[in-house]
Structure 1
């Protein structure tokens, strides 16, 4: 379902990623580990269509989206991707439940049809009682859990998570890792987790290492 071939990215003439190849099937969940600065977040941004590769192909469900225009990329992200950002990107003017429901709103789903799955995900990450709260009232760890619920609520085909447990205590970290893995496998989606934590990586089906020479299984 996801095929990556020869993916490369340069910054100021310096190669950050070169010749990245990866093939993932429905229901497969992989972790990518590597040293800081090796390009893990850059790779996720390329896969999400948030950055443009300098070479290579990105094929999701038979569509090579590396060269799509911004409107088409926006539609692809809206319909098929869920992204857990390291910096949360929780919107301050929306309540917790509204933040989680946002991907459904963007698909034209509203009312109870959006609120019910949003509440279900908030319950799953232990924030059911904070649905009406504002982001400013949350801790960093709580906002991380909101971001994870938001990434899963619309049942995306591809889930990308950039250090999703970096702001969580061990108990909540284990809880959201279990939720990520379960939702990805049950939905037959694809999951890519980027992490420094070997414990977090161990929850995936397989662990890949990114270094200066490429991505290795």
Structure 2
């Protein structure tokens, strides 16, 4: 369970988020939309533990992580969170399989033990035959599928996607969104998609709009 309770964030005394609340259970997949500057990226950074709220609580699986120190937050992100970024962030010096296995390596799983789950996820996203390829040999749509596999390989409790189709053409973007939603639901994870695109948002199970008064929908 993810519980966001009355989260607030200010920058230079200017309120960006005020009293934002949301509760999500495993298997929930929601999209958050809103006008530019309303605080979507700020909210995502707070949920990811990359920023700290000025007020309120962030609770995952019964534990308030808004007050954790940096080391504890790093461990939480490593063990319980998966990220899909707009810019892919696929590492060029690692093969496709190695990129997907990276979250397992960070958890201390050795190379051979990590290869199996990584290959399974690559098979699932249709890139099993490209496991030994280098990122420079992939298309944008293929790299985003690698990013999805990497985000899910360690079975995170929470998957966060920040404009994951922003650098893709419409056809590849639609495929990536369908795959992302399918994998989040199958894994029983909590999924949050932040996007400016209403078409992208419609692929989630529920669409929430972030306004000055909080989340609506």
TM-score (norm 1): 0.92
**Structure 2 Cα separation of the partners of residues 174 and 116 of structure 1:** 28
Measured after TM superposition, the shift of residue 158 of structure 1 is 0.4
Counterpart in 2 of 1:92? 92
Greater alpha carbon shift after TM alignment, 114-123 vs 51-60: 114-123
Q: Which string of whole-angstrom CA distances, capped at 9 and with x for unpartnered residues, describes residues 164-215 of structure 1?
A: 1222233432333222222222222111011122222122111100122211
Whether the 8 Å CA contact 2:87–2:167 is kept in 1: the answer is no
Measured after TM superposition, the shift of residue 82 of structure 1 is 0.4
SS of equivalent residue, structure 1 residue 192: strand
- The 5 A counterparts of 1:74-153 are 74-153=74-153
Whether the 8 Å CA contact 1:148–1:164 is kept in 2: the answer is no
Greater alpha carbon shift after TM alignment, 167-176 vs 72-81: 167-176
Counterpart in 2 of 1:66? 66
Counterpart in 2 of 1:20? 20
Q: Does 1:197 align with 2:197?
A: yes
Q: Which string of whole-angstrom CA distances, capped at 9 and with x for unpartnered residues, describes residues 64-94 of structure 1?
A: 0001001111111111100112232222322
Whether the 8 Å CA contact 1:104–1:114 is kept in 2: the answer is yes
**Aligned positions, number:** 217
Whether the 8 Å CA contact 2:141–2:176 is kept in 1: the answer is no
**Structure 2 Cα separation of the partners of residues 136 and 176 of structure 1:** 19
SS of equivalent residue, structure 1 residue 164: coil
Measured after TM superposition, the shift of residue 31 of structure 1 is 0.6
Unaligned ranges ≥5, structure 2? none
**Structure 2 Cα separation of the partners of residues 18 and 84 of structure 1:** 26
Query: After TM superposition, which residue ranges in structure 1, 4 or more long, deviate above 4 angstroms?
Result: none
Whether the 8 Å CA contact 1:84–1:162 is kept in 2: the answer is yes
Unaligned ranges ≥5, structure 1? none
TM-aligned CA distance change 1:72 to 1:19, over 3 Å: same
TM-score (norm 2): 0.92
SS of equivalent residue, structure 1 residue 165: coil
Counterpart in 1 of 2:40? 40
**Structure 1 Cα separation of the partners of residues 6 and 157 of structure 2:** 22
**Structure 2 Cα separation of the partners of residues 138 and 12 of structure 1:** 43
| CA RMSD between the two structures | 1.8
SS of equivalent residue, structure 2 residue 164: coil
**Structure 2 Cα separation of the partners of residues 172 and 126 of structure 1:** 13
